């Protein structure tokens, strides 16, 4: 999968357009953090996959560290990112091998958009909150008309209900709070026709 991951998702015409819009939104989130007076120099991206956001981070003066459970996915980042010295760490997102408050920002993108059970999500949020000294950025899916339509199509036409976490604002707010993170702001990286959110959370200690 590591070999074809980028080609299938981000290198088709549609994939390129969506990815550009996503990276622009991510840059906007980083700007909001900076405008709030916080420093954004170090960032842990977990799971980093093939390093999709690395170039954008470097161009914005951020020093990324990547972490992922898959060595193969991380290896693919070495072939495409201009800076070959970005530290990469193989680990599970529920047990991040860094000290408390090691990074200005911790991101978790395109991971909780798939199904992750609540007890595992809690561990991930806790770990993100622990190793960040300021902020977290989390991508997730929210309840919307589109989620309802997709649920209907998957169930009625394909006979297989999708197994995905759909959050309401209150649900994600509550889950983050239980991990010591305050819901600061919600961004819509693909506009209104998508059920994906970028959540900006602030660490509360
Ligand atoms: C859909 S990819 C997203 C990668 C990247 N964030 C992006 O936006 O392209 C999901 C990644 O999660 C990693 N992964 C799966 N389970 C994990 C875990 N328990 N801890 C850390 N990484 C994990 C996979 O290896 C894969 O690279």
Residue 45 domain-assigned?
A: yes
Domain assignment present for 3: no
* 122: in domain: yes
Cα 38 to Cα 21, 33, 195, distances in angstroms: 24, 6, 29
180 vs 186: CA distance, rounded Å: 17
Determine, yes or no, domain membership for 13.
no
Token pair of 204, please? 């509360």
The first and second tokens of residue 54, run together, are 């690395």
Please name the residue whose Cα sits nearest to atom 27 of ligand 1.
Answer: 49
Name the domain count of the chain: 1
Rounded-to-integer distance, Cα 126 and Cα 175, Å: 10
Instruction: Tell me which of 21, 46, 47, 66 to substitute to probe ligand 1's pocket, judged by most ligand atoms within 8 Å of the beta carbon.
Output: 47
Residue 17: inside a domain: no
Position 150 confidence tier, pLDDT thresholds 50, 70, 90: confident
Is the pLDDT assigned to residue 193 strictly greater than 80? no
Q: How confident is the model at residue 11 (pLDDT cuts 50, 70, 90)?
A: confident
| Residue 18 forms part of a structural domain | no
The 3-class secondary structure across 42-84, one letter per residue, is EEEECCCCCCCCHHHHHHCCCEEEEEECCHHHHHHHHHHCCCC
CA 204 to chain centre: 20
> The domain that contains 126 carries what CATH number?
3.40.50.150
Is 104 within a domain?
Answer: yes
Give domain status of residue 15, yes or no: no
Ligand 1 neighbours, Cβ below 6 Å, are 47-49, 52, 68-70, 73, 92-93, 109-111
Rounded Cα distance between 166 and 143, Å, is 5
Domain extent at residue 160: 24-203
Using alpha carbons, select from 65, 88, 72, 53 the residue that is nearest to residue 189. 53
* Mean pLDDT estimate for the chain: 93
Q: The whole model's pTM is what?
A: 0.93
Summarised one tens digit per residue, pLDDT across range 45-64 is 999 999 999 999 999 999 99
Q: Which of 40, 108, 101 is nearest to 68 (CA)?
A: 108
């Amino acid at each position: 999968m590591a070999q074809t991951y980028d080609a299938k998702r981000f290198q088709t015409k549609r994939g390129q357009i969506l990815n550009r819009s996503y990276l622009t939104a991510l840059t906007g989130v980083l700007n909001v953090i900076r405008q709030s007076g916080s420093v954004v120099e170090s960032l842990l991206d977990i799971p980093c996959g093939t390093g999709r956001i690395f170039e954008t981070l470097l161009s914005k003066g951020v020093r990324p560290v990547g972490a992922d459970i898959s060595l193969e996915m991380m290896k693919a980042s070495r072939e495409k990112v201009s800076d070959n010295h970005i530290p990469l760490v193989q680990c599970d997102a529920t047990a991040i091998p860094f000290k408390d408050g090691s990074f200005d920002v911790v991101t978790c993108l395109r991971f909780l958009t798939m199904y992750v059970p609540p007890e595992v999500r809690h561990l991930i949020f806790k770990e993100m909150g622990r190793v960040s000294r300021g902020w977290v950025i989390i991508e997730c899916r929210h309840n919307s008309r589109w989620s309802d339509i997709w649920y209907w199509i998957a169930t009625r036409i394909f006979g297989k209900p999708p197994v995905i976490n759909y959050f309401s604002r209150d649900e994600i707010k509550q889950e983050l709070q239980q991990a010591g993170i305050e819901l600061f702001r919600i961004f819509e990286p693909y506009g209104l026709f998508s059920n994906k959110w970028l959540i900006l959370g602030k660490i509360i200690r």
